[in-house]
Amino acid sequence: MNQNTASTTDTAGLDTILSIRNLHTYFYTIMGVARALNGVSLDIPAGKVMGVVGESGCGKSVTALSAMRLVLPPGKIVKGEIILNRLQKEGDSFIVREEINITNLHPQGPEMRRIRGGEIAMIFQEPMTSLNPSYTVGNQIMEAILLHQEVDEAEARQRAINILRRVEMYNPDAVVDRYPHELSGGMRQRAMIAMGLSCTPSILVADEPTTALDVTTEAEILDLMRELQAELGMTIIFITHNLGVVAQMCDNVAVMYLGRVVEQATIDDIFYNPYHPYTKALLNSIPRIGTRTKKRLEPIKGVVPDPYSQITGCPFYPRCTSFMPGVCDKRVPALTSLGDEHTVRCFLHTEEVEADE
């Protein structure tokens, strides 16, 4: 094999806007230590849509919350780095203007508060529980604008109306004074997108933003986000378990399993040339419209292990159809480069083991 173990210098190019390195986030509870993230390494390219997929409990949302320093006690980042690159575009490429280690910042410190909402914003999964029912939609959008931009309330209100109009909200001049419960699900989701875009962040984290919507509204929201991403040139981290949405939205994909990234590649490579058995299993479980085969879908046997448990070796080996006894159950495979933008963590493609296991 000619593959090389991936390192920071191997995979993080000049166009990487956010780089996560060996991130461990644990939750210390009375039941024990829940190891939500067990060494996540992920590079987010600038100006692209990065999909993060995996079953529930794989650490997708915790990765995003850790990047924004929103993990509250008893949760704690115990190891690793989150590097934000402030980029400057020169021609068709980027140069790093400033590098910020987010893990060294206090979660409630002034620098982190400037980054959160100003440079990295988040759209949460369920807007009805994320929007404050006691305040109007306009007040909640204006709060972010007033915090991050030097404008008065009148100007902030006008900007709130403008951003609602930009996300194609019906009658934004009236909606700005309405409360969340007065809006439909699709309108609330547009309000959440407007709040995230209010300060034109460099990175927008979308945590399953269309899960609670009907398919028609979901299609409208996805089209809207793609249009805004292309128009503003921002980076989107799109967290989902729906591979159909990934195919429609994303440029690159990271597949997570039990707190680790097991494969990262371009959208075409993930769908047409997957390497990790978990990625293949996810793809084999998708129903395909238009096929006349009577073959049954292939579900992934078993469930994602309890985060309180510790599995020796590769975390996927108890469910893996390519399990190699004495190998997969003994050591953790290293993240290995298979070429441009394609990395995988599997002993089928490397003999290297995780350095700090």
Please tell me the distance from the alpha carbon of residue 199 to that of residue 144, in angstroms, as a whole number.
7
Q: According to the model, what pLDDT value does residue 161 have?
A: 94
Does 9 score more than 50 pLDDT?
no
Contacts with 274 (C-beta within 8 Å, 6 or more apart), sequence order: 263, 265, 280, 283
Token digits of residue 105: 């910042």
Does 292 score more than 80 pLDDT?
no
Average pLDDT over residues 261-286: 92
> How does residue 348 score in pLDDT terms, banded at 50, 70 and 90?
very high
Q: Which of 62-66, 209-213, 256-260 has the lowest mean pLDDT?
A: 209-213
- What's the whole-number average pLDDT of the chain? 87
Does 184 score more than 50 pLDDT?
yes
Please tell me the distance from the alpha carbon of residue 301 to that of residue 298, in angstroms, as a whole number.
9
Length of the chain: 357
Does 284 score more than 90 pLDDT?
no
Q: According to the model, what pLDDT value does residue 347 have?
A: 93
Can you tell me whether residue 337 is helix, strand or coil? Answer: strand
**Contact of 259 with 59, CB cutoff 8 Å:** yes
Q: According to the model, what pLDDT value does residue 128 have?
A: 77
Does 11 score more than 80 pLDDT?
no
pTM here? 0.88
- When comparing pLDDT for 155 and 14, which is higher? 155
pLDDT in tens, 134-177: 999 999 999 989 988 889 999 999 999 999 998 889 899 999 99
Q: According to the model, what pLDDT value does residue 10 have?
A: 39
Average pLDDT over residues 185-191: 87
pLDDT in tens, 211-249: 777 888 888 888 888 888 888 888 999 999 888 889 888
Distances (CA, A) of 141 to 105, 164, 174: 25, 9, 14
Q: According to the model, what pLDDT value does residue 12 have?
A: 47
Please tell me the distance from the alpha carbon of residue 277 to that of residue 296, in angstroms, as a whole number.
19
pLDDT in tens, 93-110: 667 788 999 999 999 999
Average pLDDT over residues 332-341: 87
Average pLDDT over residues 6-30: 75
Q: According to the model, what pLDDT value does residue 222 have?
A: 86
- Residue 123: strand pairing partners: 206
Contacts with 85 (C-beta within 8 Å, 6 or more apart), sequence order: 16, 17, 18, 19, 46, 96, 98, 99, 100
4-119+201-288+296-344: which CATH architecture? 3-Layer(aba) Sandwich (3.40)
Please tell me the distance from the alpha carbon of residue 162 to that of residue 143, in angstroms, as a whole number.
15
